[in-house]
Every structure is written in C-alpha cells, then in structure tokens.
Amino acid sequence: MEINLNEQLSQYSLLIVYASMALLAVSFLLSTLHMAQTASAKTESESEQAEGDVLVRTKTESKLMSTASLWVMGVATVLLGIAVTMRGIAAQRVPWANMYEFAISSTLVILMIYLMSLYLKEVHFIAPLVSGFSLISLGAATSLFYVEVSTIMPALQSYWLVIHVIVAVLATSFFYIGAALHITYLVRKASWSQGDSNAFQRIFSHFPSADTLDRFAYRFIIVGFVLWSFTLIAGAIWAERAWNRYWGWDTKEVWTFIIWVLYAGYLHAKATRGWTGTRAAYLGLVGFAAVLFNFTIVNLFFEGLHVYSGL
C-alpha cells in the first residue's frame, strides 16, 4: 500500500509539473506579446497621425500583458514548488538525486530567484528568457529524464547531499539569470547597430542601457561564483566522507572545476583587465554553456563515480 501510495503521489507530482509548463507557456506568450505591443506603441508615438487615446490604450494593454505574464509565472512557480515537494514526499528524501529531480528543482529555484529579483527594474525585461528556458528545462525533464521514485545509493545517503546539491542549484540559477542578461545585452547592442529603421531597435528601445545590463549580469555571476566555489569545496568534503579522497579526477569533478575556472576568468577579466560589454558577455555565456554541458552531456555520456546523477 505504501509503495502504491508513493507511486501515485509521484504521478500527481508529474501532472502538476505539466500544469506548471502550460502556465509557463502562457507567461512566455504574454511577455513576448508585451514586447511586440511596446514596439507598436513606440512606432505609433513617432507617427504624427497617431491619436492620443490610441497611444494610451496601446500602452495600457502592454502594461496589462506584462503584469499578467508575471502573475501567471508566479502561479506556475507555486505549482512547480508543490510538484517538487510531492516528489520529495513520494521518494521520502530530498528530491534531487537524479537528472529529472535536479532539473525540476533547478527550474523552481531559477523562477523563485527571478521573481524575487523583480524589484530590480533591469531584470524585468528578461521574463521571456526566464519563462522560455524554464519551459524547455521542464520539457526535457519530463520527456527525456523522467524516472520513477527509487531509493538512493549509500554514498548519497548523507546530509552533504542537501548541502552540496542545494548550493549547486542556487549557483546554477544565478548563472542563468546572468546569462539571460548577457543575451539581452548582445541582442540590444546588435539591434542598435542596425540603425534607426531597425524593427528590433524599437522592440528593445525600452530596455535598460547596455551598461546597466552588463553591470547587473556581473553582479548575478559574482553571487553564482561564490556559491559554485562552495559547491566545489562541499563536493570535495563529501567525496572524502564517501570515497576516502578529496579529489579523484572523476569526469564530473573535472567539469565542476572547469566551470569554476571559466567564471573565475570572467571575474578576473572584468576586475583587472577592464573587460566589459561584448567580450565579457561572450565569456559569461561560455561559462553557462559549460554548466549545461556538465548537466547534460557529462551526465549522459561519461562514466564515473557520479553516474547516479544520470538516468
């Protein structure tokens, strides 16, 4: 009876994840429509024939779409939180012992950090990137990585699982928001380089300045780097407890260190070399690409002591 109940709870959790995905799709649609509506309002305001009431109506509709998008994202985040909690109850442990659980937990934290960061006007405009990436992440989790609840191997039965993985999840979330800001920076720079007649320029004209986007991306990555450094240290301590060595050149360990080096290089280039703008944005995106590589390719196609983090 207990096994069937846990399996049922796991299935309900999966259904709620699907519901969260549906809401994220709505949020993504609303946020992209908001961008298009904003560009339309700017075009109308530049037209000599535009009427005042038309401009007011267009701007009001745009604001309503933006607000609705964020509210829908908030509800999706609550549902995803319920799904992650139910998965943990069904598994009778913390819900991040495999790729499916790590993916849904990481997506939840990304959404939570973004929503908590909305008091910063500069991150308001990356809503389509956050909802879109979250939708893709959950889609991959449910279609490619889903596994039934199961017990975990002895090496994972430690409080270090909670410490090590939750900090890694937090670091990944900050890295992604930094990457989203860098993407926005690059698109904004590219749109403005096309000249006044470029449609993309009108879409991104209401975004913060390029320098502001670059500065906030840097701040998010600093936080992510501190958390990732702790992830590396906590992982070494856990490895000593589990396998009686701090470092064994396991594939997962090596890529965790590579990610640390890439972001350390990013911060060093920003602080001492004066790297700003495009070069810093590309380097930051390379760092996050390494994070994605570590989670997907390394987990799926490389062998090592961390195979339990795969399927």
Q: Which of 6-20, 49-63, 109-123, 141-155 has the lowest mean pLDDT?
A: 49-63
Instruction: Tell me the pLDDT band of 217, cut-offs 50, 70 and 90.
Output: very high
Q: What is the pLDDT of residue 252?
A: 84
**Distance between CA atoms of residues 243 and 237, nearest Å:** 10
Terminal-to-terminal C-alpha distance of the chain: 26
pLDDT digits (tens, 9 = 90+) for 248-257: 788 888 899 9
Which among 89, 184, 65, 61 is positioned nearest to 130, based on CA atoms? 184
What are φ and ψ of residue 169, in 5° steps?
-65, -45
Q: What percent of the chain has pLDDT over 70?
A: 82
Average pLDDT of span 25-41:
83
Q: What is the pLDDT of residue 93?
A: 86
Could you give the count of Cα atoms lying within 13 Å of 197 in the half-sphere of its Cβ?
0
Residues 6+ apart with CB under 8 A from 160: 234, 237, 238, 241
Q: What is the pLDDT of residue 58?
A: 58
- The total number of residues written for the chain in this structure: 311
pLDDT digits (tens, 9 = 90+) for 141-193: 999 999 888 877 666 667 777 888 889 999 999 999 999 999 999 988 876 66
Average pLDDT of span 94-105:
89
**Distance between CA atoms of residues 311 and 300, nearest Å:** 8
Which among 72, 11, 46 is positioned nearest to 205, based on CA atoms? 46
**Distance between CA atoms of residues 147 and 7, nearest Å:** 11
Instruction: Tell me the pLDDT band of 293, cut-offs 50, 70 and 90.
Output: very high
**pTM for the model:** 0.86
Residue 26 above 70 pLDDT? yes
Q: What is the pLDDT of residue 174?
A: 96
DSSP 208-271: PPHHHHHHHHHHHHHHHHHHHHHHHHHHHHHHHHHHS-S----HHHHHHHHHHHHHHHHHHHHH
Mean predicted lDDT score pLDDT of the chain = 84
